[in-house]
Amino acid sequence: MPAKVVVIGSLNMDLVTRAPRLPRGGETLIGQSFATVSGGKGANQAVAAARLGAQVSMVGCVGRDAYGEALRDALLAEQIDCQAVSTVDDSSGVALIVVDDNSQNAIVIVAGANGALTPALVGCFDSVLQAADVIICQLEVPDATVGHALKRGRELGKTVILNPAPASRPLPAHWYANIDYLIPNESEASALSGLPVDSRQTAQVAATRLIEMGAGKVIITLGAEGSLFADGQRLEHFPAPLVKAVDTTAAGDTFVGGFAAALASGKSEAEAIRFGQVAAALSVTRAGAQPSIPTLGEVQAFKTP
């Protein structure tokens, strides 16, 4: 049987528009296109892990609306177990995304039903967590729920991954002891460490600081610059595969899902990082969130141009 990955987190409908550039404050731009695409960091990571070889269960909430039905259907289409995806009396979460001609994006999230994912509701599906090899969390659901999931994952002896996104402040100090792998991007690493992160060198300083704060192992994703791994004993840089970017939406989620799937399958940390990087590189060559996530076969067949 494939290794089991459980994702506890958000499901959002992404409302995506493309424009020549990101708008300034008070400015109205003429957009080039619009699409609705299934997303949410939790759901994206679940889809990535499933397409990249893992058996996946999702724990989350959707609203009693058309978006909620579509979000659930998108997961089911990937053979993801949705027994722990609850329907609540609220609107489904949405993300408003603008992508510019340089493939950079700006995102506004409205939590909606994601705010209804409480520790008690996660507790109703404890058997799902018990069956996991790897548990993944993010920060698009209530902090109390994330804290509960991290603690429960540690109690069960699972490999616990936290992608601290979106992060705007340091994590609660007691969370760190329950996290095996902390995977922030540059801005998130800066928010967590209180240090500027705008290069490989500053990422090394921030990673060291996060280890001092209690993180066991840290992987800072650096976009086109690859990623930096730190565990308190060593710092290692992993260059990113070279590709032509079209849309960076969900690249970080693809890395996290791919890393988790590879790690759960028995690959080493270094192998899992490289696997996740290839998956993320392929994802930025395509538009959209979940539609951009590659399959296991595509990652295995990838060759650097």
Single pTM value for the model:
0.93
The number of angstroms, rounded, from the C-alpha of 98 to the middle of its chain's C-alpha atoms is 19
Strand partners, 13: 38, 94
| Helix/strand/coil for 177 | helix
Q: Is there a catalytic annotation at residue 180?
A: no
Please tell me the predicted confidence (pLDDT) of residue 2.
73
- List the catalytic residue out of 14, 90, 247, 253: 253
Residue-by-residue pLDDT tens, the chain, 305 positions: 677 999 999 999 999 899 999 999 899 999 999 999 899 999 999 999 999 999 999 999 999 999 999 999 999 999 999 999 999 999 999 999 898 988 788 889 899 999 999 999 999 999 999 999 999 999 999 999 999 999 999 999 999 999 999 988 899 999 999 999 999 999 999 999 999 999 999 999 999 999 999 999 999 999 999 999 999 999 999 999 989 888 887 899 999 999 999 999 999 999 999 999 999 999 999 987 898 999 999 999 997 65
Counting Cβ atoms within 10 Å, is residue 225 exposed (0-12), middle (13-18) or buried (19+)? middle
Spell out the domain ranges in the chain: 4-10+40-91+113-301
Q: How many residues does the chain have?
A: 305
Domain 4-10+40-91+113-301 belongs to what architecture? 3-Layer(aba) Sandwich (3.40)
